[in-house]
Structure 1
Amino acid sequence: MKRIFVYSLLLVASSLLAQAQTFKFDFSSDKKEQEGFTKITPSILFNNDSGYGYDFQPAWDGKSNAPFFFSVNVPDGNYRVTVTLGSKDSAGSTTVRGESRRLFIENLDTKKGELVTETFTINKRNTVIKGNQKVKIKEREKKKLNWDDKLTLEFNGDAPRLSSLVIERVDKVPTVFLCGNSTVVDNDNEPWASWGQMITRFFTDKVCIANYAESGLSANTFIGGKRLDKLLTQMKKGDYLLIEFGHNDQKQKGPGKGAYYSFSYYIKQFIDEARLKGAYPVLVTPTRRRQYDKNGKIKDTHADYPAAIRDIAVRENIPVIDLQDMTKVLCETMGVEESKHLYVHYPANTYSGQTQELKDNTHFNTFGAYEVAKCVIEGMKKANLPIVKDLKADYANFDPAKPDKFKNFKWNLSPFTEIEKPDGN
């Protein structure tokens, strides 16, 4: 009898925990809220006592076309988000991003009275590893939405319309962990972007992307900052670890440094740790810098680091996604002038507070990040990674020799900008 009682208590506790990790919010104009949902009105602003509400920007009144944010306090982990977009009162066009500007739903149009339900899976984390151990984030990261206790969603687009939102904890989907530098990182602010925050757009809710990259990092400083330690607390059997370094590693000089010395040693640590968890390590060569020779060909600027990555992949018998080659094709196809549309090249006064021209040949803008994300997916397909079966139905095969047209790329700006360029080059 005592055992049955204890077992019953455990079942109740488990049920309560599951309920605590499922949130249902009703944003519709209906006066009567949906059963089991919490009605959200413009007066509900985020605070830690309630643990949910409109955040950062003014609250949405159901009619405004301005972007808005909604945050919910949740424990670390993966969450399936179900959004019902549209309104019975007006037509809409909605883009949904999460945390630090990860793209999930792109320019979804709805007619007046039409409701469309979409789902995606998002990873949330904070800096705590265990006990007093924490990730050593940079000063510029302390305001990043990736590293707090909240799961934050951005609703943008020409006319964002949200009817309902459901957030529920999921533990069994494979997670793709990203390790890298400024060419991989989730950027919070316009006009900067990287492939790690765009690749989320192309997968169904059966895959979760967790981006731990940060600007200025090399393989050893990523490990030294305890990012790998934190990542491993969430990693499980069947997950993936994508590793892209080289940009900043090549600047390290001195005894024992170099592509075939310290760099290879640290890359091996990533591989070994992933394998111990039953996860699949995948190497990624660095993206090209936009530097052309007099013949309009992209220069090799990463020394022997790409070759070292390929050699490690062969030696360890693991896949390699060759962004070094694919971004070379992409840049040479577009040419010297057109390729500026891939990187952060903007005349003065394009963005608020930008008094000087932005001219960066390493870091991508949103269009460039979108194109490189497609290159990564093509690399996944070439490597026969099982997760490619969970690409969205609207993903079309991509050839970097036939890039998308920049003029056809539509991106509604997030309300936050930053003139300072990311660390690293």
Structure 2
Amino acid sequence: MMRRAFALAVLASVCAHAAAAEAWHFSFGDRQPAAGHTAVRADMQYDGKRGYGFEPGAEVRGSTAYLTSDRPFFFSADLPEGNYNVTVTLGGNEASNTTVKAELRRLMLERVATAPGATATRTFTVNIRTPRIPAAVGVAAGAVELKVPRETVQEAWAWDRRLTLEFNGEHPAIRAIDITPVQAPTLFLLGDSTVCDQPGEPYNSWGQMLPRFLKPGIAVANHGESGETYRDSLTRRRLDKILSAMRPGDTVLMQFGHNDQKQIKEGKGGPFTTYKDEIRNHVEAIRAHGGTPVIVSSMERRRFDANGKVAPSLTDYAEAARQSAQELRVAFIDLNAMSKPFYEALGPEKSAAAFAEPQPGKADNTHHNNYGSYQLAQAVLTGLRQTGLPVASYIADGYGNFDPAHPDPVAAFAVPPSPQFTNERPLGDEQNASAQGYLFTYFIGNGEDGLHLAASDDGYHWEKLGQGRSFLKPGIGNAKLMRDPCIVRGPDGVYHMVWTSGWKENNIGYASSRDLIHWSAQRALPVMAHEPGTLNAWAPEIIYDEQRGEYLIFWASTVTGKFPQTDGSSEDKYNHRMYATTTKDFATFTPTRLFYDPGFSVIDATFLRANGKRYLLVKDETRNPPRKYLQVAEAPDLQGPLGKLSSPISPPGVWVEGPTAIQVGADTIIYFDAYMDKHYGALRSRDMVHWEDVSKQMHFPDEGTPQRVRHGTVIAAPKELLDSLRRTK
């Protein structure tokens, strides 16, 4: 997923482009634009100085009067905070079907069809916001307390001074975009992960779908956030942000409950005490600023009894919301009640079609997908129409009379998914999280055979997958080897793999896959080609840096004469240091840099996470006197600086390589290749200080044979993926 990290200081500045005019007119294509219009060509990637352009990854092609693509693309323009009417002119020389989403996947236009050579013009109203809270009556100046890195990286598009539009569908084609600031009424949303703008597929919320069902002239400002409660809305100042922007007559829909439930177990509140008090605080504050509050009860989770009826899990909170609405004389939408016949209409099994499925066959029984949230948005609008509030006049014609017992057919749903994908589950409601197992990537022999995989449900007993077959044969590099394979799953849902492609190469291998069975074309990444005297590029590792929204790739290389030769040198002429590059799209890479120099020959570095902290694990490659052991250092930031190295943690006298680690319950397990003894071993710890050798408890496939596991990488993996791989022959 494309991400954009930002700083509040940058957001507080007013860009020159936005200040220069009150309206923005963009003409797409190669023709000379009309007076007052700005030309946008296919090669115009977003640039901060220019203030507009296509987001990275766009593959648009041009004509004289429009731009189009065979895949979704994003266009951004810098704008001040506020509400805007956006008019798009769509259509090209071939038939197209264009869906438009704004900011974080808010559905604005659904499947606008144009015949070859025809055009279509549509207008919608969108809200742009920043975290800054200006001083207002009863509201102190400040800023929303954003969640880091979730809201500053994955969800940055929801908070920057920029309008981002996604053009999706079959041959989406854009001719013009006109953007005009407008003093339109705002429909504010407050809620949890079932309401907020979710950053990536397969997750979605009714709040993201709501704009599609409203007429132009009203903006939806979604201030919901994953994992939150009414209490969080107050402490993180989300309500204050709304109050600072609210105009008389604006409406606020509020839906919390899923995460508020946890306050009972924690002894910090309950539905008929603190929950109702916090609702009252919100209602009184909104009314004091001229707004209209609407309480929405939380939809149910997907749980059925033996009779095919929904087994309630939020009864008390739904009742507390209902009571609050009655006592405070506030409009009420009973989404809890409407969600039950919706789920029951689909049935215990088929109702999974309304919920996110981050891995094949495993539904998240709390969070919805596009279809489910599309139906719930219609339920919310039906409840809104029934309140009789003025805001209901903005409901689009033909909507607002949804019968949850007769939802739209699943097969007829056709809103195209966004290209962003995440395997990061929304925050909160952890008891419904998907189960997982463990996946081991490794090579055998010298690496001629390629990628091998093993699986485990407990981290101790490993079975080879595919009956020991190679899942990817090496095809790049002079030696055409695939040693030291390292895999990470990115937020786009794709597995990215790097490997050592040969003993004397200045490049490393790269390929990607969604299922570990079907792979992209292999590529040689020339990471050390720029450095004369490079002898090798060994044991590459890849990790996703959530803080920066990019992948960090690092490896060991010897550059002749680069570092002093000492008694700590490794064998032969090698004297390794760790080097690194970063990338967001695997198309462009930052210049290679020295990543880690501990003052001795170092190799086989890898990161691990334990007890809420991150650590770097390295091997000391010193031969004289022999060390060949593992050490760890704290790594508060993946890209440094790093903490002090620990004392050796691997078994005394054992030469090891290829460390990799995973969290199994409360234990951190480090696996290592005891290559001189020709077996795989493991260490276990609960505090990262005291380590226990548990090698004898481990069961690896083909131990004691030429097919034994060599230098692998372990990752957590959904059991559904592992089951799919187990069926592969």
Would you say same fold, with TM above 0.5? Answer: yes
Check if 1:154 corresponds to 2:166: yes
Alignment of 1:129-148 (within 5 A): 129-130=133-134, 133-138=142-147, 139-143=149-153, 144=155, 145-148=157-160
Aligned mates of 1:161, 1:64 — CA distance in 2:
7
Structure 2 match to 1:285: 297
Q: Which protein is bigger by CA-based radius of gyration?
A: 2
Paired residues of 1:81 and 1:168 also in contact (CA < 8 A): yes
Following superposition, the deviation at residue 346 of structure 1 comes to 5.8
Structure 2 match to 1:103: 107
Aligned mates of 1:52, 1:63 — CA distance in 2:
17
**Larger CA deviation: 148-157 vs 62-71:** 62-71
Aligned mates of 2:401, 2:175 — CA distance in 1:
33
Structure 2 match to 1:226: 237
Structure 2 match to 1:115: 119
Alignment of 1:5-44 (within 5 A): 20-28=21-29, 31-44=31-44
Structure 1 match to 2:422: 418
- Provide, for residues 389-411 of structure 1, a one-character-per-residue CA deviation record: whole Å limited to 9, x for no partner: 22223537310011100000012
Aligned mates of 1:395, 1:376 — CA distance in 2:
11
- Provide, for residues 313-356 of structure 1, a one-character-per-residue CA deviation record: whole Å limited to 9, x for no partner: 011111100001000110111110111111113653xxxxxxxx
Check if 1:77 corresponds to 2:82: yes
Q: Does the residue aligned with 2:282 lie in a helix, a strand or coil?
A: helix
Give the AA of the match of 2:270: G
Instruction: Structure 1: state its 5+ residue gaps.
Output: 1-15, 349-356
Q: Does the residue aligned with 1:389 lie in a helix, a strand or coil?
A: helix
Aligned mates of 2:123, 2:38 — CA distance in 1:
19
Paired residues of 2:205 and 2:368 also in contact (CA < 8 A): yes
Aligned mates of 2:91, 2:424 — CA distance in 1:
36
Structure 2 match to 1:318: 330
User: Which of the two has greater strand per residue?
Assistant: 2
Give the AA of the match of 2:144: V
Paired residues of 2:45 and 2:56 also in contact (CA < 8 A): no
Q: Does the residue aligned with 1:198 lie in a helix, a strand or coil?
A: helix
Q: Residue 56 and residue 222 in structure 1: after superposition, are their counterparts in 2 closer, same or farther (change >3 A)?
A: farther
Following superposition, the deviation at residue 423 of structure 1 comes to 0.8
Paired residues of 2:385 and 2:400 also in contact (CA < 8 A): no
Paired residues of 2:59 and 2:71 also in contact (CA < 8 A): no
Give the AA of the match of 1:181: D
Following superposition, the deviation at residue 163 of structure 1 comes to 0.7
Following superposition, the deviation at residue 18 of structure 1 comes to 8.4
Check if 1:125 corresponds to 2:129: yes
Match of 2:373 among 347, 357, 369: 369
Q: Residue 409 and residue 211 in structure 1: after superposition, are their counterparts in 2 closer, same or farther (change >3 A)?
A: same
Following superposition, the deviation at residue 127 of structure 1 comes to 1.2
Following superposition, the deviation at residue 385 of structure 1 comes to 2.1
**Larger CA deviation: 321-330 vs 58-67:** 58-67
Structure 2 match to 1:55: 55
Match of 1:259 among 271, 274, 297: 271
Q: Does the residue aligned with 1:105 lie in a helix, a strand or coil?
A: strand
Q: Residue 340 and residue 213 in structure 1: after superposition, are their counterparts in 2 closer, same or farther (change >3 A)?
A: same
Q: Does the residue aligned with 1:231 lie in a helix, a strand or coil?
A: helix
Instruction: Structure 2: state its 5+ residue gaps.
Output: 1-16, 62-66, 136-140, 430-729
Give the AA of the match of 1:370: Y
**Larger CA deviation: 236-245 vs 411-420:** 411-420
Give the number of equivalent residue pairs: 399
Following superposition, the deviation at residue 283 of structure 1 comes to 0.2
User: Which of the two has greater helix per residue?
Assistant: 1
Following superposition, the deviation at residue 46 of structure 1 comes to 1.1
- Provide, for residues 50-108 of structure 1, a one-character-per-residue CA deviation record: whole Å limited to 9, x for no partner: 11111132252224221111111111111110001112x22211000000000010011
Give the AA of the match of 1:57: G
**Larger CA deviation: 338-347 vs 200-209:** 338-347
Aligned mates of 1:159, 1:269 — CA distance in 2:
49
Following superposition, the deviation at residue 269 of structure 1 comes to 1.4
